[in-house]
Amino acid sequence: MSEHAFATRAIHAGQAPDPTTGAIIPPIYQSSTHVQDGIGGFRDGYEYNRAGNPTRSSLETQLAALEGGVDALSFASGLAAEDALLRGILKPGDHVLLGNDVYGGTYRLLTRVLAPWGIETTTVELSDIDVLRAAIRPETRIVWLETPSNPLLKIVDIALIAEVAHAAGALVVVDNTFASPALQQPLGLGADLVVHSTTKYLGGHSDVLGGAVVFGDDRFVEQVKFQQFAVGAVSAPLDAWLTTRGIKTLAVRMHQHSENAQAIAEWAASRPEFAQVYYPGLAAHPGHAVAGRQMIGFGGMLSLGLAAGADAARAFAESTELFQLAESLGGVESLIGYPPEMTHASVRGTELAVPENVVRLSVGIEDVADLIADLEQGLARIAR
């Protein structure tokens, strides 16, 4: 399957027709347990749903194929995936270097859940390679990054970071949720592991919760798989099936998300109401050149800084209609959020705090003229 193009792999990897009936869509194996052919005689390795499920296995095969990995594991949420990865690899006394613009839940997991266990975390500006070099310690085990980052759409050079981190004996983990493997494949750029909230672009329809870890090689597969089994935060069969269904249209969806977001970013850049437009598809974005090298599209996420400040940002987030006020991202419908009090409330008062004038847009695949008209009427409302 690896020889096929991305869109083909998204539809066919792990998706063989049902051998019993010939059903073109593999079934949902809802069973919680599997009959054994004698004690320890597992059929195709299946014994109990927490340990393994055929529907989940299909999704994991699909995920590995999309990211160019050797294996993948599917979890109940993106944070469950991150937790299993970190607990599977780290030990007390280890150090994590974290990008200084990341999802608030990742920061909370590291600094409030894993810190008492003896894990130290330092946030750093990863786009400055000299800053990264200076921040790496002998006990640094992981360099964790998002690119594009959440919510300020920072871009970092994955290949360069991997070179520096590996020279120091550290691993590189990339949260690829914003880009999706349709636009960026970090393992091919030197990253060791990739994580996803499959709730977002991979599922793509705002109807399923999930997460994933994809492995560039087999060094950590068993360690993380043990965490998955022992702790049990696995994706349910229906959730795995819904994610698989969403992935089949990922390539065409990401094309439209990116096209719409580019048009909105260019419109916003012409409006005096916005002091900042955070979108790597704009030539003025500091990471534009790097994004152009390591991505095949600039994605559907962008953030806007309201020139009038925090009150205007909050009012604007509450004034749109097609852009609906909600957390999450990556669905076919457009969403707007106010990160300082929504997705990133957990980093308020820290070095990761989001500017108070910022709103975040998850640009859907609706007609882009309608979306721009909605943003225009939102601006008109707050100007009254």
- Specify whether 50 is catalytic: yes
Please indicate whether residue 29 is annotated as part of the active site: no
In angstroms, the CA 206 to CA 247 distance is 13
List 29, 46, 103, 279, catalytic entry? 103
- Encoded tokens for 208: 């399923």
Residue 61 to residues 14, 247, 248, 338, Cα–Cα distance (Å): 5, 12, 13, 36
Residue 342: helix, strand or coil by DSSP? Answer: coil
Choosing from 50, 108, 245, 381, the catalytic residue is 50
> Which listed residue (9, 56, 200, 360) is catalytic?
200
Whether the Cβ atoms of residue 142 and residue 173 lie closer than 8 Å to each other: yes
Can you read off the two tokens belonging to residue 167?
A: 């020279």
Burial class for 356, CB neighbours closer than 10 Å (0-12, 13-18, 19+): middle
In contact, 346 and 105? CB cutoff 8 Å: yes
User: Residue 200 catalytic?
Assistant: yes
Six-digit token string for 184: 């960026």
Residue 33: C-alpha distances to residues 225, 254, 258 (Å)? 19, 37, 42
Selected catalytic residue, list 71, 101, 157, 175: 175
Strands 211-215 and 71-75, bridge-based pairing: antiparallel
Task: Please state whether beta strands 140-146 and 95-99 pair in parallel, antiparallel, or not at all (unpaired).
Answer: parallel
Q: Which residues pair with 174 in a beta bridge?
A: 145, 194
Alpha-carbon gap, residue 224 to 114, rounded angstroms: 16
List residues with catalytic annotation. Answer: 50, 103, 175, 200
